[in-house]
C-alpha cells in the first residue's frame, strides 16, 4: 500500500507539472493564476485518486474481475470520468468566483478555449484510462505472483514429502539387513554384536531426532554417517571403503539430514561390491561444496530402484540453496556435488 501511495503521488505531481507548463506556454496564463490552477489540479486529481480507490474496493466486493473484466473496466472508467469531469467543472467555477481569475474567465469564452476544452476532456479520459489500466496491471501482477508462489510452495511441499519418503526407506531395508548381520554376530562374536547394536541405535536415534528438521550441520551429519558406515562395513567388510577428507572450516555449514546416507545407499544399490570389486566412496569438501564420488562397477540388475532418489534430492536442494546439485560421470567415476548452506 505504501508503494502504491508513492506511485500515486508521483503521477499526480507529473500531471500537475505538465498541465502547468502548457497553461504558461500555450495560453500565457500569468504565474499567480497558474499557481492557483496548479493547486486546483492537485486537489482535483488527489480527490479523484481517493474516489477511484474507494470505487475499486467497492467493485472488488460486488463485481470482481473474475466475473467479467471488460464490464468492470468500462464501468470504472465511466464512473471515474464522470466524477473527474464534474469535480473539475465545479472547482473551476468556484475558483473563478472566489479568486476572480479574469483572464481565465475570458479565455473560457473564446473559440480557442472551446478546442482546449475538448483537449481537456480527452486528457481527463486519458488520465482515467491510465489509472484503470495501471490498477488492473497491478492486480494482474499480484495474481500472477500469488499463483507462482502457490505453485512454488506446492512443488516444495511435494519435494519435501518425496524426500521424507526417502528418509523413511532407511527403516525397512536397512533394518532388515542390519538385523540379519546382528543375528550372525550374536553367535560368532557377542562383543562385536553389542557394539553393532549400539551403533544401530545411534543411527536410528539420529533419523528420528532429525526427521522433521530441514537442515543440520555438516558435523552432525558426518557423525551420523560414520556410525552408518560402521554398520555397512560389518556387512561388506573391506569390500566397502569410505574415505573422509573434510576441512574444519566447513563443519558448521548445513546440509539436509541423511543426504550422505541416501548417496552412499545409492552407490551401494547400483554397484557390485565384493573382494574382487571393492567399492570406494570419497567424501570431501571443496570450498562450500561437498563432493561425493565412487568408482563405477554397475550391477546388471538393480532391485527396488525407480530412479527418483537423486531427482528428489536435486528438487529439494533447489529450494534450499541457490546452487544446484551437480551430478556427473567422468570415465569410471560417479560424482555428486552438494552445496553446503
Q: Where are the alpha helices (DSSP H) in the chain?
A: 2-25, 31-62, 69-99, 102-108, 111-168, 175-188, 190-210, 218-236, 259-270, 309-320
Of 20, 39, 14, nearest in space to 91 by CA: 39
User: Does any domain span residue 164?
Assistant: no
Q: Which three cell numbers stand for residue 288?
A: 562450500
pTM passes above 0.85? no
Residues 101 and 203 in one domain: no
Residues 83 and 21 in one domain: yes
User: Does any domain span residue 157?
Assistant: no
Residues 103 and 206 in one domain: no
Which of 109, 124, 151 is at the close of a domain?
Answer: 151
Residues 309 and 207 in one domain: yes
pLDDT in tens, 22-79: 666 665 666 666 676 677 777 777 888 888 888 888 888 888 877 778 888 888 888 8
- Residue 306 is given by DSSP the state -
The CATH number linked to 246 is 3.30.565
Domain ranges, residue 74: 2-151
Percent of the chain with pLDDT over 90: 14
CA gyration radius, the chain: 36
User: Does any domain span residue 162?
Assistant: no
Residues 121 and 208 in one domain: no
Mean pLDDT value of segment 159-169: 56
Quick check: 226 and 261 in contact, CB under 8 A?
A: no
Residues 146 and 241 in one domain: no
Residues 197 and 244 in one domain: yes
Residues 204 and 237 in one domain: yes
Of 313, 281, 311, 283, nearest in space to 296 by CA: 281
Bridge partner list, 241: 280
Mean pLDDT value of segment 84-90: 80
Q: How far is CA 340 from CA 254, 256, 259, 326, in A?
A: 6, 9, 11, 13
Of 191, 270, 276, 196, nearest in space to 233 by CA: 196
Q: Indicate the pLDDT class of residue 111, thresholds 50, 70 and 90.
A: very low
User: Does any domain span residue 158?
Assistant: no
Total number of domains constituting the chain: 2
Of 162, 142, 144, 146, nearest in space to 318 by CA: 162
Residues 98 and 219 in one domain: no
Residues 145 and 273 in one domain: no
Q: Which residue has the higher pLDDT, 307 or 295?
A: 295
Amino acid at each position: 500500500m505504501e508503494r502504491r501511495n508513492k506511485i500515486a503521488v508521483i503521477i499526480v505531481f507529473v500531471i500537475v507539472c505538465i498541465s502547468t507548463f502548457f497553461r504558461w506556454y500555450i495560453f500565457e496564463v500569468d504565474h499567480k493564476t497558474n499557481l492557483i490552477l496548479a493547486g486546483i489540479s492537485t486537489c482535483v486529481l488527489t480527490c479523484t485518486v481517493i474516489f477511484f480507490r474507494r470505487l475499486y474496493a467497492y467493485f472488488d466486493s460486488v463485481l470482481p474481475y473474475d466475473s467479467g473484466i471488460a464490464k468492470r473496466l468500462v464501468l470504472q472508467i465511466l464512473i471515474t470520468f464522470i466524477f473527474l469531469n464534474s469535480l473539475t467543472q465545479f472547482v473551476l467555477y468556484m475558483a473563478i468566483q472566489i479568486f476572480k481569475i479574469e483572464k481565465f474567465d475570458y479565455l473560457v469564452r473564446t473559440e480557442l478555449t472551446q478546442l482546449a476544452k475538448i483537449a481537456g476532456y480527452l486528457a481527463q479520459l486519458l488520465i482515467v484510462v491510465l489509472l484503470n489500466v495501471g490498477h488492473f496491471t497491478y492486480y494482474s501482477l499480484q495474481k500472477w505472483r500469488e499463483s507462482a508462489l502457490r505453485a512454488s510452495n506446492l512443488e516444495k511441499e511435494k519435494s519435501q514429502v518425496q524426500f521424507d519418503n526417502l528418509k523413511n526407506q532407511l527403516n525397512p531395508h536397512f533394518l532388515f539387513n542390519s538385523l540379519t548381520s546382528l543375528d550372525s554376530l550374536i553367535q560368532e562374536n557377542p562383543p562385536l554384536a553389542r557394539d553393532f547394536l549400539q551403533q544401530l541405535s545411534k543411527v536410528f536415534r539420529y533419523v528420528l531426532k532429525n526427521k522433521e528438521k530441514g537442515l543440520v550441520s555438516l558435523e552432525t551429519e558426518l557423525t551420523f554417517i560414520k556410525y552408518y558406515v560402521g554398520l555397512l562395513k560389518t556387512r561388506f567388510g573391506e569390500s566397502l571403503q569410505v574415505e573422509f577428507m573434510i576441512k574444519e572450516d566447513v563443519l558448521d555449514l548445513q546440509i539436509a539430514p541423511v543426504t550422505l546416507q541416501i548417496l552412499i545407499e545409492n552407490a551401494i544399490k547400483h554397484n557390485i561390491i565384493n573382494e574382487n570389486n571393492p567399492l570406494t566412496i570419497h567424501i570431501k569438501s571443496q570450498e562450500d561444496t561437498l563432493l561425493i564420488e565412487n568408482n563405477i562397477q554397475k550391477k546388471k540388475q538393480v532391485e527396488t530402484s525407480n530412479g527418483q532418489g537423486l531427482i528428489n534430492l536435486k528438487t529439494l536442494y533447489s529450494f534450499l540453496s541457490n546452487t544446484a546439485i551437480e551430478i556427473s560421470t567422468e570415465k569410471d567415476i560417479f560424482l555428486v556435488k552438494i552445496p553446503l548452506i
